[in-house]
Structure 1
Amino acid sequence: MQYGICNLGIVPMRFESSDKSELVSQVLYGEVFKVLEKRKKWSRIRIAFDKYEGWIDNKQYLEINEENYKSIAKSQPILSSDLLEYISDSNGNIYTIPLGSSLNGLELLNHKFDGNQLSKIQDRSNLIKTAFLYLNAPYLWGGKTPFGIDCSGFTQMVYKINGYKLKRDASQQATQGEALSFIEESEPGDLAFFDNAEGNIIHVGIIMEDNYIIHAHGNVRIDRLDHIGIYNVETNTHTHKLRVIKKVI
């Protein structure tokens, strides 16, 4: 088994081994992973944090040994906490890194970081504050950063920055936590999931106070939430049908 670490700010993870293939997620700076299959130009990887799999370009990561992989994977994540930061190498080269990048491998990569960071589990009351950092970020299928993010990438990153683990996709996240019977039982920070006509979970957002929800739909935005689903006051329509509310923490 081979192992790797992301030494660049944002690396695309694709469904197949091609630059033309669908973006399914992103690997952020400092994330470590197992290399499940390696070809001439591409590697299929499994990210340590959420076990998500996909293909990345061989030129966009560094190989590490098993000992370093396990050490970083098992340690409490140290994450950058500003929208955009930078790290520098021994030659003075600067690399930009987005909110939520992992700093556990700085010494291994021989990089320096002087910005703000988080390394402890935060109170759940901090979830909404973190969510607001992504407000107005454009929607991007497979995205995980303030420069482009999808609905489940948004919820995963908000929870991750506060020290909690969510799986990558909305349908996977819906298997976590305890289901609530009514919206009135929910608290800010709980997750609301929404399904399509076939009953498949296709969307997720973070519940706020007073029946509001923050979610990624076109951009990260705030809408009303009722027993039917998400209500957009600008268009006077329900955009998503509520399936279940989950309390994860």
Structure 2
Amino acid sequence: MQFSIGTKGWICDALVNMHDEDQPLATQLLYGESVEILSEIDDDGFVKVKNFYDGYEGFIKASSISLEERAKPTHFTNAIKTFIHHEPDVKTKPLSYLPFAVEITLTDRQENGFGYAQDLGWVYLKNLTPIDEPVTDFIETAKRFLNVPYLYGGRSMSGIDCSALVQLCLKTAGIKARRDAREQVLELGTLVTDNAPVDLTKIEFQKDDIIYFKGHVGMMVNDQDMIHANATAMCVSIDNLKEFVKNVNLPVTAVRRVK
């Protein structure tokens, strides 16, 4: 496969690991995400790319990139794991799967509660949401990931980190967010406070508030509790914000509001 620097392609595998000079797993790219080629293919078959969605740069396997023209996506996956079938039948062995928040192109073919996704196969329709109908309650979306393992750099049901949980849940709510917490805190929504360390007794927290720490982020489930992917529980969990801050000695540095 011949790549030219500056060429645009898209991810043709379900989930692709990206590494950089410092981290063996910097992030993961999802099926259908558009990338820009930034380098020639190296001797190990890797190429440097930039993810157009969030600007993240790193190295991925060149074989995971398609240079063919892709049809405009119509739906996104709303389940944390969606199987692709050869036939519109739940009893058939899945061909593959799609992670959460993957954008696909659904054709007019529908049968037995399945729809045919272009370039993929048959997908259960209840696992799909039209792109123009965002799921506004992103906290309920986040709860689907409860107990999913924590994985630094992870971006799927197999393992996810704190900023990816925020990014993907906001994505299906129609809100674009950067990949890392240090970038999100600078531009996401409206700033409530960044007077660090934030005095938690002086903030009237609301459901949907995004809570930032040094190197960490979570989302308020209500005025007291936060859902987050964390290395303390090693999974996605709901914790009382004040107790979490006290137990791990990690003060809040900023609060942002997206609603």
**1:189 paired to 2:208:** yes
Q: TM-score, normalising length from structure 2?
A: 0.77
Deviations 1:122-147 (A, max 9, x none): 364x1111010111111111101111
Structure 1 residues 97 and 113: alpha-carbon distance in aligned structure 2, compared to 1, 3 A threshold: same
- Once residues 142 and 178 of structure 2 are traced to their aligned partners in structure 1, the CA distance between those partners, rounded to angstroms, is 17
Quick check: 1:180–1:186 contact (8 Å CA) kept in 2? no
- Once residues 61 and 123 of structure 1 are traced to their aligned partners in structure 2, the CA distance between those partners, rounded to angstroms, is 29
- Once residues 133 and 184 of structure 2 are traced to their aligned partners in structure 1, the CA distance between those partners, rounded to angstroms, is 19
- Once residues 88 and 7 of structure 1 are traced to their aligned partners in structure 2, the CA distance between those partners, rounded to angstroms, is 17
**1:216 paired to 2:229:** yes
Match of 1:159 among 170, 173, 181: 170
Match of 1:24 among 26, 43, 49: 26
Between structure 1 and structure 2, the one with the greater Rg is 2
1:51 CA drift (Å): 1.4
Structure 1 residues 247 and 121: alpha-carbon distance in aligned structure 2, compared to 1, 3 A threshold: farther
Q: How many residues align?
A: 225
**Overall identity of the aligned pairs, in %:** 26
Question: Which residue pairs with 2:90 in the alignment?
Answer: none
Unaligned 5+ runs, structure 1: 196-201
**1:110 paired to 2:124:** no
Aligned-partner SS, 1:209: coil
Question: Which residue pairs with 1:51 in the alignment?
Answer: 55
Quick check: 2:207–2:223 contact (8 Å CA) kept in 1? no
1:167 CA drift (Å): 0.2
1:239 CA drift (Å): 4.5
Structure 1 residues 113 and 161: alpha-carbon distance in aligned structure 2, compared to 1, 3 A threshold: farther
Give 2:15's aligned amino acid: I
Structure 1 residues 61 and 3: alpha-carbon distance in aligned structure 2, compared to 1, 3 A threshold: same
Question: Which residue pairs with 1:179 in the alignment?
Answer: 191
**1:38 paired to 2:40:** yes
Question: Which residue pairs with 2:110 in the alignment?
Answer: none
**1:237 paired to 2:247:** yes
- Once residues 55 and 117 of structure 2 are traced to their aligned partners in structure 1, the CA distance between those partners, rounded to angstroms, is 22
- Once residues 189 and 155 of structure 1 are traced to their aligned partners in structure 2, the CA distance between those partners, rounded to angstroms, is 10
Aligned-partner SS, 1:23: coil
Give 1:27's aligned amino acid: L
Question: Which residue pairs with 2:98 in the alignment?
Answer: 97
Give 1:78's aligned amino acid: H
Question: Which residue pairs with 1:82 in the alignment?
Answer: 79
1:5 CA drift (Å): 1.5
Unaligned 5+ runs, structure 2: 1-5, 88-92, 108-115, 194-198
Structure 1 residues 93 and 123: alpha-carbon distance in aligned structure 2, compared to 1, 3 A threshold: closer
1:13 CA drift (Å): 0.7
Deviations 1:211-248 (A, max 9, x none): 1001111211111113xx734xxxx7244210110013
Structure 1 residues 210 and 43: alpha-carbon distance in aligned structure 2, compared to 1, 3 A threshold: same
Quick check: 1:188–1:209 contact (8 Å CA) kept in 2? yes
Deviations 1:193-215 (A, max 9, x none): 002xxxxxx10000111310011
- Once residues 150 and 144 of structure 1 are traced to their aligned partners in structure 2, the CA distance between those partners, rounded to angstroms, is 7
Aligned-partner SS, 2:169: helix
Q: TM-score, normalising length from structure 1?
A: 0.80
Aligned-partner SS, 2:168: helix
- Once residues 46 and 211 of structure 1 are traced to their aligned partners in structure 2, the CA distance between those partners, rounded to angstroms, is 38
Aligned-partner SS, 1:175: helix
Match of 2:144 among 125, 133, 141: 133
1:109 CA drift (Å): 5.9
